[in-house]
């Protein structure tokens, strides 16, 4: 079952649609990786789902259902209550989750007091210390009285992650949560998120441009290009047999998938800027499979398998062997 489902979400800056009809679902207890080059609309998508579009951007269409409830119909106060209780958010700027005026120990212990009803102060403090240790904050006992500004950027992000874990949300939206952290800490934090997911059944939406990370940590993947989702499906299937030429290009740009230090290098050419989008497929100028008809209309998203969809007029052939195809057809 989907905990979060987004249908045809549109967010625009003036007349320009920076998110243009995006649909995806995050299943309860599962993790969805949202990937795509910088500027493709990943952050605006997350912020729009949370009801916090950036200044200058309006959410102008679509439905956002969380556990069956339409978030777009909620008041700002209702959304505020939902965020931090049911929906956690770890954004690129950790200060969105932290209160600059309170020592971090207080922020975490208050969470335990109000959300989990832990009455004893010492018990709350020891849980806060334990949590800070889990996000690899050194000497956590001595940091409880520090304010957010006394931490470095990377350390602040770890504290923000701890805060979110203390809330015990059902859905965690993490937008490049570990980009500012070095590789070792990044992997530790992601392992921690995965542990938490296994322990508590938290659903996670992880935004990243790091494909090896998605392969290692996510169940499902949605690939975004120029404001739209071009391919979606279970990670192992999409990575093994990408059907959209853009996905194939992204995967081809990562020669060694096991090398987590390898950052995504881009496919030749540039994505279009949102205002410049003409009709037809937005990937056409960079697409090795483009044909004349690709420019006539945007390809509709269609199912290519039980759990997979692709928006392309001429998708990559399904590279499965005839035997595997027959087995799927029979199942
Ligand atoms: N506050 C804003 N006002 C107007 N346009 C914006 C704003 N924030 C982002 N955009 C535009 O929306 C597009 C998508 O941005 P973003 O969601 O940040 O991409 P990503 O997170 O995938 O790198 C970009 O073209 C960006 O210029
Ligand atoms: S619709 Fe055409 S141009 Fe677009 S990705 Fe598919 S083949 Fe390439
Ligand atoms: Mg972003």
Ligand 1 closest atom vs CA 175: 21
Please answer whether residues 18 and 41 qualify as being in contact, where contact means their C-beta atoms are separated by less than 8 angstroms: yes
What tokens were used for 233?
A: 């499906």
The reported pLDDT for the residue numbered 260 is 46
Which ligand ends up closest to the CA of 245?
A: 2
Which ligand ends up closest to the CA of 54?
A: 1
**Same-domain check for residues 159 and 173:** no
Is 302 inside a domain boundary? no
**Same-domain check for residues 136 and 186:** no
Please answer whether residues 87 and 162 qualify as being in contact, where contact means their C-beta atoms are separated by less than 8 angstroms: no
Is 197 inside a domain boundary? yes
d(CA 51, ligand 1 centre) in Å: 15
pLDDT tens per residue, the chain (331 residues)?
799 999 999 999 999 999 999 999 999 999 999 999 889 999 999 999 999 999 999 999 999 999 999 999 999 999 999 987 899 999 877 887 889 999 999 999 988 888 778 889 999 999 999 999 988 899 999 999 999 999 988 889 889 989 888 888 999 999 998 887 788 888 888 888 898 899 999 999 999 988 888 999 999 999 999 999 999 999 999 999 999 999 999 988 655 544 444 444 557 888 888 777 778 999 999 999 999 999 999 999 999 988 899 999 999 998 766 665 566 565 5
**Same-domain check for residues 112 and 236:** no
State whether the beta carbon of 315 lies less than 6 angstroms from ligand 1: no
> What's the total number of domains in the chain?
2
Is 91 inside a domain boundary? no
**Same-domain check for residues 269 and 183:** yes
d(CA 231, ligand 2 centre) in Å: 12
d(CA 44, ligand 1 centre) in Å: 6
**Same-domain check for residues 80 and 193:** yes
d(CA 311, CA 303) in angstroms, rounded, equals 9
Ligand 1 closest atom vs CA 36: 22
Is 215 inside a domain boundary? yes
d(CA 173, CA 282) in angstroms, rounded, equals 27
**Same-domain check for residues 103 and 192:** no
Is 300 inside a domain boundary? no
Is 284 inside a domain boundary? no
**Same-domain check for residues 173 and 157:** no
**Same-domain check for residues 22 and 145:** no
* Residue where a domain terminates, one of 255, 277, 299: 277
Categorise residue 227: left if φ over 0, alpha if ψ from -120 to 50, beta otherwise. Answer: left
The reported pLDDT for the residue numbered 136 is 87
Q: What CATH number corresponds to the domain at position 268?
A: 3.40.50.300
Ligand 1 closest atom vs CA 54: 1
Which ligand ends up closest to the CA of 301?
A: 2
Is 316 inside a domain boundary? no
- Residue closest via CA to ligand 1's atom 18 equals 43
d(CA 154, ligand 3 centre) in Å: 17
**Same-domain check for residues 81 and 104:** no
Q: Using alpha carbons, select from 115, 43, 128 the residue that is nearest to residue 81.
A: 115
* Residue where a domain terminates, one of 277, 295, 317: 277
The reported pLDDT for the residue numbered 286 is 93
**C-alpha to C-alpha distances, 22 to 3, 152, 261, 330, nearest whole angstrom:** 17, 35, 30, 32
Which ligand ends up closest to the CA of 47?
A: 1
**Same-domain check for residues 81 and 174:** yes
* Residue where a domain terminates, one of 125, 146, 163: 163
**Same-domain check for residues 150 and 175:** no
d(CA 159, ligand 2 centre) in Å: 43
CB atoms within 10 A of CB 255: 9
Is 73 inside a domain boundary? yes
**Same-domain check for residues 16 and 78:** yes
Boundaries of domain holding 116: 98-163
Ligand 2 closest atom vs CA 293: 2
State whether the beta carbon of 43 lies less than 6 angstroms from ligand 1: yes
Query: What does R_g of the chain's alpha carbons equal in angstroms?
Result: 21
The reported pLDDT for the residue numbered 289 is 95
- Residue closest via CA to ligand 1's atom 26 equals 39
Contacts of 198 (CB under 8 A, 6+ apart): none
The reported pLDDT for the residue numbered 330 is 58
Residues framing ligand 2 (Cβ under 6 A): 245, 281, 283-284, 287, 289-290, 294, 299, 312-314
d(CA 42, ligand 3 centre) in Å: 5
Contacts of 262 (CB under 8 A, 6+ apart): 212, 254, 255, 256
State whether the beta carbon of 12 lies less than 6 angstroms from ligand 1: no
d(CA 293, ligand 2 centre) in Å: 9
């Amino acid at each position: 079952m989907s905990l979060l489902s987004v249908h045809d979400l549109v967010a625009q800056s003036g007349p320009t649609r920076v998110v243009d009809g995006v649909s995806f679902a995050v299943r309860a207890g599962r993790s969805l990786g949202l990937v795509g080059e910088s500027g493709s609309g990943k952050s605006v998508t997350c912020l729009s789902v949370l009801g916090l579009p950036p200044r200058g951007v309006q959410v102008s269409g679509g439905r956002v259902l969380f556990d069956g409830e339409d978030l777009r119909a909620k008041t700002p106060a209702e959304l505020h209550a939902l965020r931090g209780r049911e929906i956690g958010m770890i954004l690129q700027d950790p200060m969105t989750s932290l209160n600059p005026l309170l020592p971090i120990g207080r922020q975490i212990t208050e969470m335990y007091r109000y959300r989990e009803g832990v009455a004893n102060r010492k018990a709350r403090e020891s849980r806060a210390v334990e949590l800070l240790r889990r996000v690899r904050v050194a000497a956590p006992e001595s940091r409880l009285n520090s304010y957010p500004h006394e931490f470095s950027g990377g350390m602040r992000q770890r504290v923000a992650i701890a805060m979110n874990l203390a809330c015990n949300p059902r859905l965690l939206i993490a937008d490049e949560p570990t980009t500012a952290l070095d590789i070792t800490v990044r992997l530790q934090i992601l392992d921690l998120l995965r542990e938490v997911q296994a322990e508590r059944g938290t659903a996670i939406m992880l935004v990243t441009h790091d494909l090896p990370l998605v392969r290692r940590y996510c169940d499902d993947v949605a690939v975004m290009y120029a404001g739209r989702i071009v391919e979606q499906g279970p990670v192992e299937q999409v990575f093994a047999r990408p059907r959209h030429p853009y996905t194939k290009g992204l995967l081809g740009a990562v020669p060694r998938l096991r090398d987590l230090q390898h950052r995504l290098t881009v496919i030749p050419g540039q994505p279009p800027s949102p205002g410049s989008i003409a009709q037809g497929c937005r990937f056409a100028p960079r697409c090795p499979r483009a044909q004349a008809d690709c420019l006539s209309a945007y390809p509709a998203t269609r199912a290519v398998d039980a759990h997979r969809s692709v928006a392309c007029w001429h998708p990559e052939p399904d590279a499965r062997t005839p035997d595997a195809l027959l087995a799927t057809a029979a199942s």
